[in-house]
Structure 1
């Protein structure tokens, strides 16, 4: 029996058309999962990650996420892209992007922070939910949005960061983004000079912006509720698993709330605390199993189990496979 998982959000359906466009341009076979989601309004983020990984495995091309982003069109970002394009200046466009970013991806907050002379733009996605290609395409899409869709003259980035280690073709990233690119950083982000916020957008249209804002608000209201509490809960459980302190009493204390209030919040989402913990354990287990240097005992201990056998029973209950079989299948 599969574990009840809490997928980290959904993705706007226009991005499936982006991948279809890329596959056609490169004359490669569309993954079956990609064919199945064509014309859907939204689809699960986990599916997005799986499809990108399948394309990556098929092409085995360095910096693939950057190449896919070259094919993005404004329609692939939906109403959010057109709304930002109708703004008066870059600062206003980034504010609208912040307000409605969930229309493109609703699984994590978009964080825009002023730091010294630049703005830092990043998504607060737990590392276990990302891959090199998902980070590449997220940053590259924002790059295309800023440099090509807003019609702003003379805009340059300050810096781009990635969490993965520097590849052999690191110079290609610098050429692509035309700025300093850092690797092995705490998170993926893009930095823009604050001095550019007043840069005017040539296609600004206040009337159109008001109409599109109403449309975006209506679409946002249809999305499942996602609160800051859910994001804090997820982070607290992940940290608790690492420290072998993942009882509901300890997590509730970290969140500054009572156990009863936390349980009531989870009931409204038709889940329980244990289901949340097991879902994250499963996702962590699958990430750890990809590392051939970790033994099953190592993984069991990392997940908070005192015995390897307990982890093996739990994993088979979640997936229907033993950890050994899952690891073998993934390696193949």
Structure 2
């Protein structure tokens, strides 16, 4: 799987709560060691412990690239989605759990899906059948894994919402725009319906009656409380997390011209330096931490490209000299860029 370094400058992100909930059982499924996988991906376990944090998509893709390299499973996204639980979505998950029926749960998903990560956009199209589709902004090979994780996760969670020991709900059909995997039978066995690949859209089709299925955990009082909490978090997300994403995007655009300073970034965003600093601090991040994180993510992607020399990479990351890049990479990874490249 090739990851476009340009993703590092895009606003997409994934909830740390989601990764923290699905990663342990996923690695157990593949018999992989979590500490080893996180170390190979350059992900600090402390990042996953912050349930309210959002991880840049480029870091999430690097994590799953490590898993893919060790398993060779082109159904990695599907296996990830099967493991989704309510806690994977935090407040959003509990708001869905307390909904009256599946239709109301889907409406809340559409409204608050940013809380699980600013990644894609879901859309509900009424009719017979009802279509629940997803628009993934990621292109290329990674889109396959991201899309399968999202859509399989919908069905997995819906079963937890309305199913019981004797009944397992299934969509009428599932659809994916990418090519079929080597083992497509496991998809149809698990979905319990036809699964179409190279389709016109990504999503599922449902019988209209499914929207009226009551939820086992329906609780009107809790639902109202969770909806207020979700609305407050969404407002906070729009005010704060979008700022973090905007700063990261500006840094990405400016890196190849040399190390960007906060003054230049603030000017491009039309903000005073103190205003930018204080807003970042309110969301638990510093300008330097964003710059370091972006450089580290990009460095590990660039080092996988044999066409780029170390001096090329240093310039792309805004370092004046290759020696400065070497020192920074040793600080991030505890090894030289050459040693890291050799391991890959």
TM, length-normalised to structure 1: 0.64
Equivalence for 2:10: none
Aligned-partner Cα distance in 1 for 2:180–2:306: 21
Equivalence for 1:19: 26
5+ residue gaps, structure 2, are: 1-12, 38-44, 164-168
Paired residue secondary structure (2:121):
strand
**1:39-188 paired onto structure 2 within 5 Å:** 42=51, 55-70=67-82, 72=84, 80-81=92-93, 83-84=95-96, 87=99, 92-101=104-113, 105=116, 107-108=117-118, 111-112=121-122, 121=134, 133=145, 136-145=148-157, 149=161, 155-157=172-174, 159-160=175-176, 169=182, 178-181=195-198
Cα RMSD (Å) of the superposition?
Answer: 5.1
Aligned-partner Cα distance in 1 for 2:73–2:186: 13
Shift of 1:150: 5.4
Equivalence for 2:316: 302
The answer on whether the counterparts of 2:122 and 2:133 sit within 8 Å (CA) in structure 1 is yes
The answer on whether the counterparts of 2:123 and 2:132 sit within 8 Å (CA) in structure 1 is yes
Aligned-partner Cα distance in 2 for 1:155–1:168: 20
Shift of 1:289: 1.0
Task: For residues 104-123 of structure 1, give each alpha carbon's deviation from its aligned partner in whole angstroms, at most 9, with x where no partner exists.
Answer: x4x53663458999765357
Matched, 1:234 2:248: yes
Paired residue secondary structure (1:200):
helix
TM, length-normalised to structure 2: 0.62
Which segment drifts farther, 285-294 or 43-52?
43-52
Task: For residues 249-287 of structure 1, give each alpha carbon's deviation from its aligned partner in whole angstroms, at most 9, with x where no partner exists.
Answer: 553344343333212212334544233222201111111
5+ residue gaps, structure 1, are: 1-6, 184-188
Matched, 1:284 2:298: yes
Total equivalences in the alignment: 304
Aligned-partner Cα distance in 2 for 1:63–1:91: 29
Equivalence for 2:5: none
Aligned-partner Cα distance in 2 for 1:260–1:73: 41
Summarize the Cα distance change of 1:54–1:236 in structure 2 as closer, same or farther, 3 Å threshold.
closer
**1:235-274 paired onto structure 2 within 5 Å:** 235-241=249-255, 246-269=260-283, 271-274=285-288
Summarize the Cα distance change of 1:182–1:49 in structure 2 as closer, same or farther, 3 Å threshold.
same
Aligned-partner Cα distance in 1 for 2:312–2:180: 28
The answer on whether the counterparts of 2:14 and 2:119 sit within 8 Å (CA) in structure 1 is no
Paired residue secondary structure (1:121):
strand
Matched, 1:208 2:224: no
Paired residue secondary structure (1:291):
coil
